[in-house]
Amino acid sequence: MDRPILVWMLYLNREMSQQEYDQCYQCMQICVQHAQVPYAFNRGETTRQIIAHLLPLLMMRHRRIPRAKWRDMVSQNGKHYIEQDVDSAMNPTNRLYSMIGYHLAYDQNLVGMVMTQGRMKEVINIGLGVKHWAVSPPDAAVSAYAESFYHKLTPLEQSFIKPEEGDDVVLRRLCILLALKQAYIKAIGQPMGFDWARLEFNIPNESVTGDNIPLLGWEFRVWTASTAIERSGAIVHEKYQCACAFFRGTRESRFIWQKEQKDLESWVQFINLDQLINVVPKLTD
């Protein structure tokens, strides 16, 4: 069965106040007991982590499922999924197909969640990758920035981001490769210490290998997210390369390139910080 994929992407359209941080942190402590996030208002990393942990709560509330009616579970290889309390007296298979596999990812001012529903073994291998289209530090040369990731790329992948391709092309291709690798690594439940160079994405051929063995049965979706955020009274426009990896068990792997905004509207939903803050008091219900 073709399991639909749904993605929620929350962008930090403005800075979070300490009162809002405290409110979100308290909600996370009450509802997401597995979250290990230290209280540190002045560290942007913790803000992103807290918001990521709240996204499953937001999604389940959107589905009108009370917090007491579902549990966050963990598979043997550390993959999180949601188990719902479903009345299975009339049809026991309803419970089997009610599991929600999901994964959380973030970078800078964008936090995302990818999810799908079905039997646990069919939904557990799903992952999301998010990479900001920008060099770090901001004054770094694109070529030098790209070279700093060479240890995560194979020689073939490195050939796709040669300086002669131009800065814009190099940065875009680099972000695509990194987002795809992040999505796959998380989909299989591996830690970020995994050797990324064991994976090779041959973008022109739309193929992928792991340890030189073709990886079959996977669906990779690739898209770009454009956001506008307010910082110090000015509007800043940002771009992010996003990718999701989902194991469908098909004979081949396929790549889906979502280039138009209208192509995303049916399965990618964008929300901002204001929308989250408005419902945080209700997420514990």
Kindly list the structural domains of the chain, giving each domain's residue range(s) and its CATH number in brackets, ordered by start: 6-282 (3.90.470.20)
Alpha helices in 63-150 (DSSP H): 93-96, 120-123, 142-147
Pairwise CA distance, residues 262 & 251, whole Å: 29
- What's the whole-model pTM score? 0.93
Confidence at residue 194, expressed as pLDDT on a 0 to 100 scale: 93
Report the amino acid identity of residue 267. Answer: W
Confidence at residue 85, expressed as pLDDT on a 0 to 100 scale: 82
Mean pLDDT of the chain: 92
Could you tell me which of 199, 236, 239 has the C-alpha nearest to residue 220? Answer: 199
- The values of phi and psi at residue 109, to 5°, are -105, 20
Confidence at residue 91, expressed as pLDDT on a 0 to 100 scale: 56
Confidence at residue 126, expressed as pLDDT on a 0 to 100 scale: 97
Pairwise CA distance, residues 12 & 26, whole Å: 19
Catalogue the E-assigned strands of the chain: 6-11, 70-74, 80-84, 99-107, 110-118, 126-132, 199-202, 207-210, 213-214, 218-231, 234-247, 254-258, 268-272
State pLDDT tens for residues 241-263: 999 999 999 999 999 999 888 88
Could you tell me which of 163, 128, 122 has the C-alpha nearest to residue 146? Answer: 163
Confidence at residue 284, expressed as pLDDT on a 0 to 100 scale: 84
Confidence at residue 86, expressed as pLDDT on a 0 to 100 scale: 67
Task: Give burial (CB, 10 Å; 0-12/13-18/19+) of 195.
Answer: exposed
Pairwise CA distance, residues 267 & 18, whole Å: 33
Q: Which residues of the chain have pLDDT under 50?
A: 89
Could you tell me which of 223, 204, 214 has the C-alpha nearest to residue 253? Answer: 214
Confidence at residue 259, expressed as pLDDT on a 0 to 100 scale: 85
